Structure 1
Amino acid sequence: MKLPVLVGIPILAISTLLAGLAIAQSSGGVHSLRGTEIEDLRAVDEVHKQVEGRLTRNYRQQPPLIPHAIEQYQIDKRTNQCLSCHDWTVAGERRAPTLSMTHYLDREGRQLDTVAGTRWFCNQCHVPQVNAPELVGNDFLPSSAER
């Protein structure tokens, strides 16, 4: 390459950088995603309380809601604390509902003695029932409700 081209590339890069900095400075600065300064106190949303008792299901095949707190439950690839009460081997003595037999079927439909790996993470489908308001309003009615 010729010398003027080698000198021109860095000059072009520096001028582009300086122009970008000038535009960034004039744009008004950075705005916080939380909407306030870090030093400002911000009200914390209400903690939603667990609803005791069992709620009815809204539609056929709805996974049951969990009627108790699960914050301290360990559920990982080696341990599932839900099974200490809900596995078919102990549910009767613990007076807990037994898992559906579908939880003991593998992908090919074969019956297993332990919970299938595809059903291991309970909170994938089941959630605790709390007094939280709807995030998005809807007019859903259960299939048994009159319209």
Structure 2
Amino acid sequence: MKNSILITLSITLTLISGFAVSEERGIGGVESLRGSAELETTRAADPLKRVPRDQVDIESSYVFQPPLIPHHIRSYEVSLNANKCLSCHGWKNAKQMGATKISVTHFTNRNDEVLADVSPRRYFCLQCHVTQSDAKPLVGNTFERVKSLQ
């Protein structure tokens, strides 16, 4: 009795979650902005996006937009123990390295208290900053820059 209830429950959950084998779709096709693929097939990885060698100054499109990173960051470590970005962009080394200093806003915590070091909520740079690349947009975009920045 318990086995039949468990089997019935298992089949019901499988059908509800959409993972049941269907002759029309195979084993649940995955649809994304990059196309569709069956779960059982492995698609080749997209080629790496090219990061321009020449630093192109792309202007901000809106107020408080995080600046784009104009260089590759492929081997940079940003973890709890290390932050490669700060070795150049930290206030101590920025002038010597010829890099832009991180903003003073990165030294305040959520209570607007000024800290002696980078705030933990601003430590993981790649949450906001991304590298410039030649990637084409995945979806159409009709965004227009703020008039005061034009």
What TM-score do you get using the length of structure 2 for normalisation?
A: 0.71
Query: Which of residues 64, 68, 74 in structure 2 aligns to 1:61?
Result: 64
Alpha carbons of structure 1 residues 138 and 145: separation in structure 2 relative to 1, 3 Å: farther
Distance 1:122 1:143 in 2: 25
Shift of 1:56: 1.3
Q: Between Structure 1 and Structure 2, how many residues are aligned?
A: 130
SS in 1 for 2:4: helix
Shift of 1:45: 3.1
**Counterpart for residue 13 of structure 1:** 4
Shift of 1:13: 2.3
Alpha carbons of structure 1 residues 89 and 36: separation in structure 2 relative to 1, 3 Å: closer
Distance 2:43 2:79 in 1: 34
Query: Which of residues 71, 76, 84 in structure 1 aligns to 2:87?
Result: 84
Q: Which amino acid aligns with 1:124?
A: Q
The list of structure 1 runs, each at least 4 consecutive aligned residues, that deviate by more than 4 angstroms after superposition, is 41-44
**2:97 aligned with 1:94:** yes
Shift of 1:77: 1.0
Cα RMSD, aligned residues only: 3.3
Distance 1:120 1:97 in 2: 16
Shift of 1:36: 9.0
Contact 2:27–2:40 under 8 Å retained in 1: no
Shift of 1:145: 7.7
Q: Which amino acid aligns with 2:49?
A: H
**Counterpart for residue 46 of structure 2:** 45
**2:106 aligned with 1:103:** yes
**Counterpart for residue 116 of structure 1:** 119
Shift of 1:58: 1.0
Contact 2:76–2:85 under 8 Å retained in 1: yes
SS in 2 for 1:82: helix
Distance 1:125 1:100 in 2: 13
Task: Give deviations 1:25-84, integer Å, cap 9, x for gaps.
Answer: x9438437434975xx96653432003312111111100000011111100112111000
Identical positions, percent? 35
Alpha carbons of structure 1 residues 30 and 86: separation in structure 2 relative to 1, 3 Å: same
Query: Which of residues 124, 132, 136 in structure 2 aligns to 1:133?
Result: 136
Alpha carbons of structure 1 residues 92 and 27: separation in structure 2 relative to 1, 3 Å: closer
What TM-score do you get using the length of structure 1 for normalisation?
A: 0.72
